[in-house]
Amino acid sequence: MFDLRETIDSRSGAAVHVYSRKAQGHARGIVLVHHGLAEHAGRYGRLAAELAALGFHVFAHDHRGHGSTSASDAPFRRFARRHGADKVLTDCRAIHTHALGRYPGLPVVVFGHSMGGLIALNYAESHGRDLAGAAVWNANFQTGLQERVGRLALKAEKALKGSDVPSALLQRATFEAWGKAIEPRRTMFDWLSHDDAEVDAYIADPLCGFSPTLSMMEDVMTLIFQGGSQAGLDMLPPALPIHFLGGTADPVTDKGEAIHWLAGQLRLAGARDVTVAIIDGARHETLHELPPYREPAIASLTAWLQRIVPAN
């Protein structure tokens, strides 16, 4: 459901694979979409069509180590040899600049799911004055004792095994734990969605469901700790509209509790326009859920977008 695929050169050294869809009718703005961990931007075509119908040009790119984006320091399953989180954000800036080059003068909103939500919020903290809003879905920024211990364990595991192998520790604490959280379950990926067809498509997709390297997981943890820190949240413009969404059956966000926590942290940091939508019964991939869960989520997003970027 995308109109165009192209490759954009980033200052980070990456050749970034970008999907885009042109707005229908008179354009009101641009939405930059950021996908989650162990998937790719090609899965967001349905969302792109829905946003285009509202009058938004949509750009979605494969992050480093994912999909068809390539870089000499970023083979599949790794962001970079060093400073991977920073390079991911540099690539996001390249797409932002590219989008405005094609459609100058339009307001820009970032949207991110899961890891993409981590990226979207970190990006908003660095470039919030250039944005009309940020939508952060199904992302967990909480950093308690378990996360701090996990970060130290990653460093120890990396010292023993090297950076380009999967983390057995994090695999058990994340994908395996999330899979076991759903009972009864048909597959170990049922935590993604109630929709069997979407789960099966994810499992069958060779670009989805892979085990991230230790290096990539270290960079993901950097995004979590950096984006959810007080210093990071204080960088957000207080008037920037933020839309949070989660589901009560999502093990990744502690059944939506992590969403409430982050919204509260933002309000304490002075944010004045925070919207929170928690979808009862929804699992992790809200965009790939069955209609009873997906439809209210999309309705919440579209109402928010129409409020913050009115039609001209």
281-297 tens-digit pLDDT: 999 999 999 999 999 99
pTM of the model: 0.96
- pLDDT given for residue 244 in this prediction: 98
- Round to whole Å and give the CA distance between 284 and 259: 12
- pLDDT given for residue 284 in this prediction: 98
- pLDDT given for residue 272 in this prediction: 97
178-234 tens-digit pLDDT: 999 999 999 999 999 999 999 999 999 999 999 999 989 899 999 999 999 999 999
- pLDDT given for residue 162 in this prediction: 63
- pLDDT given for residue 274 in this prediction: 98
- pLDDT given for residue 124 in this prediction: 98
> Angle 214-227/84-102 helices, nearest 10 degrees?
70
Mean pLDDT, the chain, rounded, equals: 95
Phi, psi of 186 (to 5 degrees): -95, -40
Q: What is the CATH number of the domain that holds 263?
A: 3.40.50.1820
Please count the structural domains in the chain: 1
* 237 close to 269: Cβ distance less than 8 angstroms: no
Strand-pair category, 4-9 with 15-21: antiparallel
Q: State which residues form the domain around 80.
A: 4-308
- pLDDT given for residue 148 in this prediction: 72
- Using 50 as the pLDDT threshold, list the residues of the chain that sit under it: none
- pLDDT given for residue 307 in this prediction: 98
DSSP 8-class letter at 75: -
- pLDDT given for residue 168 in this prediction: 78
